[in-house]
A and B are shown apart, each in its own frame.
Chain A
Amino acid sequence: MHLLGRRRQTLVAISGVAVGVGFFLAVSSLMVGSQRDFVDTLVNAAPHIIISDEIRSPPTQPGLRTFAGAVALHGLKVRNEARGIRGWQQIVTAAQQTPGAIVAPSLTGAVTLRLSGREQPLSLVGVDPALEAKISTIEQNLRVGHLHDLDTTQGGVIVGEDLARRLGLGMGDVVTATSAGGGSRTLRVVGLFKRGRGQLGGSSGYVLLREAQSALGRPFIINTIGVKLPDPYAAERVAARLERRFGYKAQSWQERSADFLSLLLTRNVIMYSVVSAILLVASFGIYTAVSTSVADKRRDIAILRSMGLSEGDLQLVFVLEGLALAVVGILLGWGLGQGLMAILGSLRFPIAGDTQHLPLDRSPLQYAIAAGASLLAGIVAAWLPARKAARVDPVDILRGAA
């Protein structure tokens, strides 16, 4: 109903909202995008649940089980059994009962790689390539070769490219692996990991499961079971259940990355405080514009009131005016945000030999949140002066004007 009386104030108010919305979009899309990227990496780089042959608390001593009043012995030395998960087939079966779950048993053990006098410790991981490809991102992180090459090459091994460089290894080269037990195997490099990919690290070597079992001298033994679930967020629950049932330590990805997750939470709190402040400041522009408009329109307010428009009608008029400013600002802000995102998205960062883009989340949710928050702030900012305007006694104004 009211047109926009003062050009400059209107412009300031609209551009304030536009800038607020634009930067909100840019910042939050970057934050949400990077968070998603981060969590994806956390969640999918390794199995959602890793069951290892460790136990969190020592088993009850036989004496305590038998005699109620027995005192636990300290410094007890348990006979070193061949470590591994006992009855791992049962655990695999149990884990597979979750619909859609993929379960991959593996054996990890330490070996030493020797090549022309140089020695390098290696954590040998024996896997089933078909299963492993489904539960982790190893395949995507290979610089050269494929996981299934392990199946086709006798004694094939995949190592990190850094490690390979240290030992002067190339594709197809042969290296000797010696285990602590003294056994030694000849391995042939069939693939290289990209460097700097977290848990794969520079010191892991992937081989076939039975290759690892024989190299480590532990036939038929499994000491790690990886589980990938269709819903990553069920990992904590499923892990707890498996651990309760079998006693072996079952770590969910949440547990493994608790510190990262709390970091993300802090990051989100910071981000939302900052962008809310931007939107809040933007709404000051609307407040000023509507206040000025109210001051300019005092006579109009009086005449409209005398004509029989109620306080509510007039409040609505000015709130709508503020809302119009907010809506125009939001639309411009969406455009600005898209522009900023396009700029951010076009940036290229060479990291670890790879060209990477900033991870951006361009979901409509971001736009909706930015618009919703600005509308809310705009309505409140317009409503405050509108309420004041509506309460003005028309008689006071008419007396002054006449």
Chain B
Amino acid sequence: MKSSSAIHPNLVTKPFNKEDLVLDPLEVYSLLGYPDGKNPPTKVLTTLTELHSYALELFQPMSQYTIAPIESVDFQNHTVTLTGEKTFLGEGIVEALRYSTQAAIFLVTLGHPIVEEIERMNRVDVSKGFFLDVLSSVAVENLAEQIHLEIARLVFEDGWYVGHRYSPGFCDWDLTQQRVLFSLLKSSLLSVELTDHCMMVPRKSISAIVGLGRRREEMAISPCGNCKRTDCMARREDYMNLLYQSEGTHGSL
């Protein structure tokens, strides 16, 4: 049994300033299908620039997170139980939270209007629908990164470090675990719902759990290092080092 005190037990829900979303062009090009070092031709760049401004008008970024103590980690039965008897199941998540005594659970979304517009655009001009979809994917990933970082800053003040983020559907973590994750949040405040098959609506949303621990070196361990899927798009390199070492970006971290 692990013991620890809750540090920020309350649910935080707030809008995110869309002007602060960073859409890295290289990530956009990569998702569009261009190999490293290859930039799109002018006709594609022109359309992307137009759609970027349009997408910004439609984004309604919101975030929500909570932090809860981890009551127990059962390596035999592959379960992690948080306060309130919320139990996650999965071999990977047990490994991911091996050194954590708290967990942050968060949900971010770009809102409904952008997704509705992507769907409309797909009926009219699928190439523009594709570009808008890619821009939104990069935007929502950046939103998740920034909320992850916000949580890292918050808990750092109390001497905690954050680990990598995990989302149901990735790293072989069963998508049905989304229901446990959502039970710890109030997703209705963000107008995000789960379908019967545990997909999020609107789809440009990301939910995740992040372990918190006292020892930075333990939290810095990347589970991707042991993963056999070397071509995985979600593979994370020395993320933790970036998080805690780039002082220019992250202040006192």
Genuine A/B complex: no
Chain A interface residues toward B at CB < 8 A: none
